[in-house]
Amino acid sequence: MNAKVTLMRSAAETALIDRFPAVRARLPGLPVERELAHAKIAASGLPTRRVEAWKYTDLRSAMREAAPLADRPNAAETALALKGHSPLAGRGVVTVSFVNGHHVGADGVVPSGVSVVSLAEALTVGHPLLSRIGTLQLASGDVAMSLNTAFMTDGAIIHVARHVDVAGPIALRFVTAGPTAVATAARVLMVVEEGAKVTLVESHEGQGALAHQPNTVVEIIAADDAAVHHVRVGLNSAGAVALSTLTADLGARSSLTSVNVALTGAVTRHQVFARFSGGDARAQINGATLLSGAQHADSTLVVEHAAEPGGESRELFRTIIDDEAAGVFQGKIIVQPHAQKTDGRMASNAVLLSDGAAMYNKPELEIFADDVACAHGATCGALDDELLFYLMSRGISKAEAEALMIESFVGASIDFIDDEPIRDILHGLVKDWLQARAARLDAGKVV
């Protein structure tokens, strides 16, 4: 017997679906794309664990209420939101800030060969790159993408001209703030032309415990021989249900290094969709996640090798889980029939620091070509006793030895970042996390 199960729409689903007609008129541009995205959400609703791609992160139950879509902040609200400490402050040659999904200005100097325009402005003037938003088919069925496309309020279009080696990092600062929880939808497109080199760093920030619902999408299109370094730091508000997506469309011989450091937020999901559209591209996609309390953090990635030679993809995700927190890694490598010589290797390693900690690993390979080398590995365990003994035999206390081991464990992911000051900042964030853990241990909250 086949029974079609139709779930009742949750309050959040109803609110999201009903919201669209109400706010559509004040959302800038791309009406057709928005309508299509909205239709997808109306048809599917928010994903539950019955949806394979969201098996371990039940968005429908995590997002019980749909927070209202944030309005453009006024000058005072903007100033207040930007006042907080930004982890990557001063690292960008130019820092483009977004408050509640709205472009609120840029600090620094846009390097030569680079142009940055707000998405709202791009939509008003009919920017030539608008047609390249949302073009990665690999990500088109994703709910977070659809939600962002339907409701995107603002964002930026960044263009890096051919063969430009951008002098320093371009920084994007996404701040979610306000007296009550809000939903945001910022969208950034970065087109890196042939042979250009650029570093893009993102910080996602939110103070306090409010259950903000940021949903950010960054799309990177790298032309042939382009090289992109990407760093993302997730420091959302403690109660946040935060979605973020990185898409990458990689041309021939181009390269992408992406490191995501996920630290705060109640329920967070960072997704990467990377397509090797040109032959012989390379990607190193990493994650370092540190969780405590009742946090839930999901790293989901899909890498598609779709050209010959298939290129080289490497993924290294390291997760540290304390208390009752839960980590999720879903990684899928797809090798299309003609993508011969693909070399893909994916690893997810988790360390559970407490009995209540949980990790869900789901590595997948879908290989349709016959001349490929692909591997995946997922491990989950406690800290290595042998190494702990080695460190303690040198006089280092158990607590300090564990901290060194945790730093070393997630450091393996972080150390792929070339930019030393940024790497140091990320190591510093890990140290902050370890200090907070030490304080919890001292307070006897963790046994």
Partner 1 sequence: MLEIRNLHVKIADEDKVILNGLNLKVRKGEIAAIMGPNGSGKSTLSYVIAGKQDYEVTAGEILLDGVDILTMEPDERAAAGLFLAFQYPMEIPGVATMTFLKAAMNAQRKQRGEVELTTPEFIRRVNTAADLLGIPKDMLRRPLNVGFSGGEKKRMEILQMTLLEPKMSIMDETDSGLDIDALKIVAEGVNARRDPEHAFLVITHYQRLLDYIKPDTVHVMSRGQIVKTGGPELALELEANGYRDYQSAA
Query: Which residues form the interface with partner 1 (CB under 8 A)?
Result: 385-387, 389-398, 400-401, 404-405, 407-412, 414-415
Q: For residues 112 and 164, is the Cβ–Cβ distance under 8 A?
A: yes
Distance of alpha carbon 64 from alpha carbon 373, whole angstroms: 43
264 - beta bridge partners?
A: 235
Q: How far is the CB of 405 from partner 1 (least distance, A)?
A: 8
Nearest CB to partner 1, comparing residues 104 and 316:
316
Residue with tokens 């415990």: 209
Residue matched to tokens 């360390």:
351
Q: Report d(CA 315, CA 190) in Å as an integer.
A: 22
* Rounded distance between C-alpha atoms, residue 187 and residue 134, angstroms: 10
Query: What does the DSSP 8-state code read for residue 25?
Result: G
Which CB sits closer to partner 1, 289 or 330?
Answer: 289
Pick between residue 71 and residue 407 the one whose CB is nearest to partner 1: 407
Contact by Cβ (8 Å): 221, 158:
no
When the beta carbons of 139 and 429 are compared against partner 1, the nearer one is 429
Q: To the nearest whole angstrom, how small is the minimum distance from the Cβ of residue 3 to partner 1?
A: 51
Burial class (CB in 10 A: 0-12, 13-18, 19+), 400: middle
Measured distance CA(40)–CA(403) in Å, rounded: 45
Give the nearest distance from C-beta 408 to partner 1 in angstroms: 4
Q: How many CA atoms lie within 13 A of 124 on its CB side?
A: 10
Neighbours of 364 (CB within 10 A): 13
CB of 413 to partner 1, least distance (A): 9
Quick one: 140 or 284, whose CB is closer to partner 1? 284
Residue 415 CB, nearest approach to partner 1 (Å): 6
Shortest distance in whole angstroms from residue 250 CB to partner 1: 28
Closest CB 36 distance from partner 1, rounded Å = 45
Tell me the closest approach of the beta carbon of residue 430 to partner 1, in angstroms.
10
CA–CA separation, 126 vs 133, rounded Å?
13
**DSSP symbol at 177:** -
At its nearest, how many Å lie between partner 1 and the CB of residue 400? 6
Nearest distance in Å: CB 421, partner 1: 16
> Three-state SS for 1?
coil
For residue 152, give the H/E element and its range.
none
Mark 224-259 as b/e (b = at least 16 C-beta within 10 Å).
bbbbbbbbbbbbbbbbbbbbbbbbbbbbbbbbbbbb
- Minimal CA–CA distance to 341: which of 376, 316, 313? 313
Residue 200 or 430: the one with the smaller Cβ distance to partner 1 is 430
The smaller minimum CB distance to partner 1, of residues 106 and 391, is found at 391
In angstroms, the Cα distances linking 200 to 19, 135, 162, 170, 192 are 33, 20, 17, 5, 11
Nearer to partner 1, 396 or 441 (CB): 396
Kindly tell me which of 367 and 404 has the beta carbon lying closer to partner 1.
404
SS3 sequence of 105-144: EEEECCCCCEEEEEHHHHHHHCCHHHHHCCCCHHHCCCHH
Pick the closer one to partner 1 by CB: 115 or 408: 408
The Cα 399–Cα 213 span in angstroms is: 35
